[in-house]
Every structure is written in C-alpha cells, then in structure tokens.
Amino acid sequence: MKLRDLLIVAPEVQEALAKGQAVVALESTIIAHGMPFPKNLETALRVEARIREEGAIPATIAIINGHLRVGLNAEELELFGREGQKAAKVSRRDIPFVLAKQQNGATTVASTMIIAAMAGIKVFATGGIGGVHRGATTTLDISADLQELAQTSVAVVSAGAKSILDLGLTLEYLETHGVPVIGYQTDHFPAFYTRSSGLEVNYRVDAPKDIAKVLQYKWGMGLHGGVLVANPIPEQFSLSPAVIESKIEAALSEAHAQEIMGKALTPFLLAKIESLTAGSSLAANIELVLNNARLGAQIAVELAKKEEN
C-alpha cells in the first residue's frame, strides 16, 4: 500500500500547501468524543471560520472509510458530529487497524500530528493535550500525545494540558523528552479551564511572529520534534480553580468507582465535569478552542511569511 493511496488532501488544502500559504491542522476527536451533538458541529464550523478570519486555511483531520483525510467539508464534519463516540478514537497505535478495517476514525492529538506532518502541515490547534494522568506512578497511564510531541515536528497550540491530569508530571515528561513549552503572553502553564496552574513554562513569547521565528530556527537546524504553545483561556471565560478542582476530584472518584480507564477515561471525565458545572465547563472548552484556533492561524501566517523569505 502506497502513501498516495492512503492520504487524501482536500483540494483547497493541497493548493494552499503548494503555494506556501498558512494551513492549520485540527483534530476530529474533539468533535466526535469531546462534545455532544449539535454543539460539536457548531463548534467545529466556528473554529474553521476563526482560522479563515486570520488568513489561514483550516484542515480538519480524520480517517474516513480507510483513508487518511486532511481537510473535511461540512457534510464530513457533520458525519463525525452525529456519529459521536461510535467513531473510533484513533491514536498512533490505532491507525493501521482502523485503516485495515476501512472504518471511520476520529483523530487524537497524537494521530493528528502524525497525519498533519505527512501532509506537510506544521501548525496544529487543539483544546488541550493529553498528559500524565493522576496516579500514573502506579497505573503508568501516560498519553501518547506526549511521546508524539517528542518526535513529530508540528507546533501544537493548546490551553495547556487538560486539568484532569497531573500537570507537574506532564511538564516533567515533556522536559525529559526535550519538548519546548512556550507560554504565549504568560510565564505560567495554563490549566485548560483556568489561566494558570502555578507551574512555570520554559519560555514566554509575546508575539506570533516570534513563535514562528523559534519554529524556523528549531526545525531549520534539524532539531526534530514538536513545540507546545500554551495559550491561556481568555480571562472572561476562565473558571475558578478551586471550583473546577472540586469537580475534577468528584469526577475522578466516580470514574474509579466504575473502573473506567484507558481511552474511555478522558471523555467520561469531561462529560462528568460538564454535568457537575451545569455546562460552564463546556462553554469554557469552546472558547479556549476558538482562542487557540486564532493563535494557531496567526503563527501559521507568520511562519509562511518567514519560509517565503
């Protein structure tokens, strides 16, 4: 099986890449597994529109009928919105199995990075990355997203890591594997629903053009691997750290009681927290994704300018 038979890049995305224009990758798990229908579809369309407003082309990534798809149309976005958790949740290890079975698969951060890199896309905007789960010292539950950041040359713009995780250990893991963590206009690592975890980032950078310059130097000298751009949720949508932590603890306790783990854990926790916060966590999630899409597009535009010169 040849790559050209597996990888299908939408004409608009293909043309933009050929011309050296800005393109921003987007994952599909956030559509299928991250939010209920129709809110997930509405959000996906708003995120793509936000990227276009900033002068870049959106490329939502997924697996459809056994093909790696880069750039989905409105009907395909709706397909994942309606399928929800019926669509396979696809990380690195799952890709060949979903392809072999010619299934539909929603891509996580890790698999989106892989497929984006195959297509030549260098910037990816998401909500929050996976990381080291709480209690990982005994469970060894560590997201494949972190290892992908260590080896795949894509810049990931997120609101930090999901606050259901052990953020301290997540940052330690990234440091061990040489992944730079940039704080966009902040000295502290954001905690998804809240603007700060109290943990410091490696570097603070205050302008998209300066982030693009860092990426150009890193990859230009052959330093392979990703960069995590930590972009805090806008202040007006940030939730109270004390309140959200109490909800996370309650959700974790219920997950433990029901013996929920592995791939099912994160979707369960996010849904439970949404219920416990009467929907305010979902509203915050949507706003932080939109905010990351804006910054991702700005970085992609600046990177395209630098590569043109």
| Active site annotation includes 2 | no
**Catalytic-role residue among 122, 162, 247, 272:** 162
Omega cis (within 30) before 190: no
**Catalytic-role residue among 27, 54, 78, 274:** 27
Q: Which of 128, 153, 264, 130 is nearest to 214 (CA)?
A: 153
Contacts of 137 (CB under 8 A, 6+ apart): none
Contact 13, 119 (CB under 8 A): yes
**Cβ neighbours of 124 (radius 10 Å):** 29
Residue with tokens 């783990």: 261
Tokens representing residue 256 in the block: 């433990």
| Active site annotation includes 162 | yes
Please give the torsion angle defined by the CA atoms of residues 244, 173, 159 and 157, in that order, rounded to the nearest 10 degrees.
-170
CA distances, 117 to each of 21, 151, 200 (Å):
15, 11, 29
Q: What is the DSSP letter of 198?
A: S
Tokens representing residue 238 in the block: 């940030």
How far apart CA 148 and CA 155 sit, in angstroms, is 11
Residue with tokens 């890193």: 218
* Cβ burial 178-189 (10 Å sphere, 16+ → b, else e): ebbbbbbebebb
Q: Which of 309, 305, 300 is nearest to 23 (CA)?
A: 300
Please give the torsion angle defined by the CA atoms of residues 62, 63, 64 and 70, in that order, rounded to the nearest 10 degrees.
50
How far apart CA 261 and CA 237 sit, in angstroms, is 29
Which positions are catalytic?
27, 162
